[in-house]
Amino acid sequence: MLQENLKINCQEAREKIEEFKQLQKEFASELERIKKDGQAGHIFEIEKRIEEKKKELNELFKEVKEKLLNNKELVAGKIIEDFLNELEEKGEKVTYLYNWEEYTLTDNQLNGRVQIEGTLYPIINGKVIKEIEGEAIQSCYNIYNINNQLNGEINIEGTLYPVINGKVIKEIEGKIIQNCYNIYNINNQLNGQVKIEGIVYPVINGKVIKEIEGEAIQDCDNIHNINNQLNGRIQIEESFYPIIFYPVINGKVIKEIEGEAIQDCNNIHNINNQLNGRVKIEGINYPIINGKVIKEIDGEAIQDCNNIHNINNQLNGRVTTEGTLYSVVMGKIVRLSI
């Protein structure tokens, strides 16, 4: 009965996906026309229909996913089925499986996370790891297999520790790790963010960075190792309000841009060795594309922005002008009218 229901749902999903693709084509065609004559036409109506179709598809996929999660034989093929059967034979009760994109295969062996009787455990090469170095694992995050070894973040006795090549790191440079975030194994070394003595510091190639350009780091976020250099956002001025985070690109703190002081930043990315994301200048959030502050679009002043992305070296996201929030696609503001 379940298989028949899934067959019906999948057929419905295919039909809705085709409708969605058609709406996308209509939207692209209408956008090209707008670029030429500047008239909004039917683009608002098309965008509204696209959003409605997205909601329909999301609901349908959610329904299918729930049915899959409740039926182990249909979950993700033979490998996951065998894995679950093996656990059940050992008397283990699996209470939750995660989105399939979280799982990877190494030599046809499963890697990822599984919840057993309320506790999240890592899976490496098809084996559930409940203990590490003689201590019970209470939870885990950001799990991946490198060279057949566990890497990621695990909770032991209430503290989240980094794990690199199967080794738990509880101390770094003689200091106790109190928490960790966004941990990655790059060149067999710890990278990400660790909390030491109450402060979250960036770690690049196993080295804790406590100072940058002679100033003490107070906090950090969105840390990436690009070409063995620190990238992300950091707080270097000790204050409770306002808290100012500055962008860091290729190990360099950017406090000013185009002669103006940066008051905050978010969603920072290093693309082609240039700053991209969002910065606050004189109380206003502006988009940054390839190191350039964009204060106007279509001749109107930008009052705010969010969800900024650099696609093909052009601004994409959302901006507010004259009190109205607009979508921006490939550097062009989409003017909606009813």
**Token output for 276:** 């991209």
Q: What is the pLDDT of residue 34?
A: 64
Q: What is the pLDDT of residue 243?
A: 85
Q: Domain residues of the chain, as ranges?
A: 1-70, 73-168, 171-338
Q: What is the pLDDT of residue 75?
A: 39
Q: What residues contact residue 173 under an 8 Å CB cut-off, 6+ apart?
A: 207, 208
**Token output for 266:** 């978010």
- Complete DSSP assignment for 41-104: TTHHHHHHHHHHHHHHHHHHHHHHHHHHHT-GGGSSSHHHHHHHHHHHHTT--EEEE--GGG-E
Alpha carbons within 13 angstroms on the beta-carbon side of residue 337 total 7
Q: What is the pLDDT of residue 286?
A: 98
Mean pLDDT by 10 residues, the chain (338 residues): 43 58 66 63 68 69 55 50 75 66 74 88 93 96 92 96 98 97 94 96 97 94 94 84 90 97 94 95 97 95 93 92 90 70
Q: What predicted TM-score, i.e. pTM, was given to this entire model?
A: 0.70
